[in-house]
Amino acid sequence: MAPESVHAWRAQFWAPVASFRDPLFPGLTRGLPVPPPSTVRGLLAAATGEVAEPLPLGIAAWAEGGGVDAETYHPISADGSNPAVAGRVRGVKGGMTIRDRPFLAFVHLTVWLPGEEGARVARALRRPRWPLRLGRSQDLVHPLRVDAVTLRPAESAHVGHAVAPTASHDVPSATVHRMAASVSVDRLSTRWADYLWCDDTDTGESPVRGAHRDENGQAVWLLTP
C-alpha cells in the first residue's frame, strides 16, 4: 500500500560524543556508525518519561568524525566475590581490564515524529522529563529545534543519511547494518532488523520505495518497532 501524506514534527539533535556498540560482536569493541532505532526510542522515552515510545519515526544521522578511546571495565564476578560498593567494583586480580572503545564525534541526528503521538513527543522535547542521552549514560545530546512539517509520498528523494529498510532504495554507497529495532522494558529481549544507511551523501535524488519526503526533498522512512 502506498504511503499517504502525514503531518509530522522534525526534531534535530547534536551530540559532541556518542558511542554505539555493535552487540553482534561479543567480546569485541566494534562500533556502529549510526544510532540504532532502539537507542533513538530510548532518547524519546527520556523526554516523555514513559517506559517506552513505540510510535513510528523517521531517522537520519551522521557524524563529522570519530576515533578510538581506552576505557576501563570492572566486571563483576558471577559468584559475587567482588561486589560493587558505592558504585565501584572491589579490586581483585583479574577484576579490571582496559579495552578500546570506538566513538563518534559531533553527531547530527534528525528524527521525524508523525501524527498526534509525534506532537506529544515534540511537546515533551521542549521540557524533557529526564536528561537526554544518545547511547551511553554519559553521552549527553542537545536538542536544537523542533519544526512542523508535512511528509508526502515519494517515488524519488534525496536519501542522504536516512535510516531505511532494506530494498527501499538502490543508492550504491548504502550498506546494510543489523541493529536493534526495539528492546523490551526489562531488557531481556531485543527485536533485530536490517537497515540501509549511507556514509557518503549522494548528490542528487534517487528512486525510493515506501518513503515520504519533507519540504527539503529529504527521504523519510517511518520505522516501526
> How many angstroms from the chain centroid is the CA of residue 6?
22
C-alpha cell at 96: 579490571
The two beta strands, 84-85 and 58-73, are unpaired
16 within some domain: yes
CA 175 to the chain's CA centroid: 16
CATH value at residue 146: 3.30.70.2660
- For residue 134, being part of any structural domain is answered with yes
Residue 186 lies in a domain: yes
Question: Is 1 a member of any domain?
Answer: no
d(CA 178, CA 167): 14
Report how far residue 20's alpha carbon sits from residue 134's, in angstroms, rounded to the nearest whole number: 9
- What pLDDT sits at residue 95? 60
pTM metric for this prediction: 0.87
Q: Domain total for the chain?
A: 1
**How do the pLDDT tens digits run along the chain, 225 residues long?**
556 899 999 999 999 999 998 776 665 667 899 999 999 999 999 999 999 999 999 999 999 999 888 777 666 666 666 565 555 555 555 566 777 888 999 999 999 999 999 999 999 999 999 999 998 888 999 999 999 999 999 999 999 999 999 999 999 999 999 999 998 888 888 899 999 999 877 668 999 999 999 999 999 999 998
pLDDT at residue 2 in the model: 55
pLDDT at position 77 is 60
Going from the C-alpha of 156 to that of each of 22, 38, 51, the distances in angstroms are 31, 27, 36
End-to-end CA distance of the chain: 19
pLDDT at 151: 98
196 inside domain = yes
Contact 223, 37 (CB under 8 A): yes
Tell me the residue range of the domain where 159 lies.
6-220
| Inter-residue contact 139 to 17 (CB < 8 Å) | yes
